[in-house]
Structure 1
């Protein structure tokens, strides 16, 4: 008997200090680059979206790779790529850490729609509020003072 998997994750991470540095002029190309990096890791980008200070990925990942390693590579490669783009006026970095939440197959359409509607969603709620809500809904213990890097406090 063969082994079969369907490992889908909702992954969220922010720019360093949540600076609004994912400018509209480059956003789609960044998303394409992230999708290519996932494909190079035997993954598949199902949906991507976000706003100027963070991204959401709905991705199917290979069971042979650690989620943390894939995300590390996606962030490192996309950060390097961003810094090579003329539209990026100052050093681009992702914030340390990420959120990764498993998604059951039946919930994929709902999560896709949520990610697709990020611009509208963030007219009502900040990234910080959204992220804390994700952690609470997934019953993940955290300390607020350790969640977000601050430019003045590390």
Structure 2
């Protein structure tokens, strides 16, 4: 699954992101009675947008997710959608949260995101091997190339 390429009509892509976001005032209530509902909401919302959750953990006061987001969605628009819709779903299902979180602000502002790409050593190895493969192919050809700018008299 590490090198799984996804595809759209004219695109092959592998865009993975590590995302961390917190509830308002880092209240430690995710592990309480809301944990199961919140996990269901996040999973459902990601599925609606075509985002694959590779790994996800609901910690007592924050959420860690490793997701694969299609390039047609920006990370910012996806996070706005995810945090906004999940907050509305939480307040609709659990009316008592309105008193703890005023004005339907369930999540704190902002989030942390970093790209998850190939390892630098893997890329270096690929470049070394690619150069070695090209040299081997050149040795196997029997055609001698001549410099076209020198006269072959």
- Per the normalisation by structure 1, the TM-score is 0.61
Larger radius of gyration: 2
Is 2:30–2:58's contact at 8 Å kept on the other side of the alignment? no
Is 1:8–1:104's contact at 8 Å kept on the other side of the alignment? yes
Distance 2:112 2:106 in 1: 17
2:69 aligned with 1:69: no
Distance 2:117 2:76 in 1: 19
Structure 2 stretches of 5 or more lacking a match? Answer: 1-8, 120-153
Distance 1:2 1:24 in 2: 44
Of 7, 14, 26, the residue aligned with 2:22 is 14
Q: For CA contacts below 8 A with separation 6 or more, give which structure has more relative contact order.
A: 1
Aligned length in residues: 106
Is 1:82–1:88's contact at 8 Å kept on the other side of the alignment? no
Is 2:39–2:58's contact at 8 Å kept on the other side of the alignment? no
Secondary structure at the counterpart of residue 52 of structure 1: coil
- Per the normalisation by structure 2, the TM-score is 0.62
Is 1:26–1:87's contact at 8 Å kept on the other side of the alignment? no
Distance 2:80 2:53 in 1: 16
Runs of 4+ with deviation above 6 angstroms = none
Q: Name the residue aligned to 2:94.
A: 86
Once the two structures are TM-superposed, the CA of residue 29 in structure 1 deviates from its matched residue by: 2.4
Is 1:16–1:95's contact at 8 Å kept on the other side of the alignment? yes
Structure 1 stretches of 5 or more lacking a match? Answer: 107-154
Q: Deviations over 1:18-43 (max 9, x none)?
A: 11132432212211211111111121
Distance 1:33 1:67 in 2: 18
Distance 2:80 2:96 in 1: 21
